[in-house]
Chain A
Amino acid sequence: MPLVYADSSALFAYLHPNDEFSVVVDAAVQKDLPDFVYWPWLRYELRHNLRMARTDADGEVAWQALRASEKTAARLRWQDELTADKMLDAAEELSTEKARGIVCGSGDYLHVAAARRLNLLSGIDEFWTCDAAQAKLARDAGLKTRLFKSGRS
């Protein structure tokens, strides 16, 4: 199973049946069968957005799928190395290197810094996102990156 760092935009799209990127992200998962990196910031951002989406049956289905995948040891692979304090330092370092050239939010820098750190420590296969600016940052940080384009109808 490849290990992929999917940022919260991609994981939300995968889990929510009506998201504009849902179809394209699900197709990629069905093709590559990846397991995903999981750590505190990603968990918080994903859970927060899925909680807010629990306003109808589709939001509830998405929430239940998240909870089922969190119960596994493999589909969402918890990374002990990616602690919040260490990753804030890593993001600070990445920001120092890139922020004048690549415009992205602070949360985006945190995702890419965590992926870059994990890639150095144990290797990841790819970085997935639905966010063009973040994809640019990830590529610039040396990560093999996949940017999803909206299949919005």
Chain B
Amino acid sequence: MTEITSKELHEQTGSVLDSVKRGQRFRVLRNGTADALLVPANEEIDPSWDEIMADVRKARAKGGPTRPNPILAERRKRNYAARLRR
């Protein structure tokens, strides 16, 4: 990732955006601190489900008994109309 100051970005906005469009990534510095990232619009910046779910999958892999889904359990308990129709 290329570092660029906010002053440079201001002075060269067009050419920087052309570079970003071609795939270059920039870290924008203001007073020496990174304040923003410039990345191509078609690039994935959010973490994938694999990254988000790594710990959940690790916990699942340990095994152990499964538990009833609490939302279904609540719905079943509250479903008075279905019981009336039985």
Contacts and interface: CB of A to CB of B under 8 A. Distances in A.
A7 B62 CA distance: 26
Interface stretch (B6-14, B15-23, B25-33, B67-75): B67-75
Contacts, number: 103
Interface residues of B, number: 29
A53 B70 contact: yes
Contacts of B56: 15-17, 26, 61-62, 65
Interface size of A as a range:
35 or more
B41 to A, nearest CB: 13
A81 B35 CA distance: 31
Contact of A20 (B66, B75, B82): B66
B75 A131 contact: yes
B52 interface: yes
Nearest to B81: A103
Given A65-B52, A75-B49, A18 B60 contact: yes
A38 interface: no
A103 B55 contact: no
B69 to A, nearest CB: 5
A23 B72 contact: no
B60 A130 contact: no
Given A68-B47, A75-B52, A105-B79, A13 B69 contact: yes
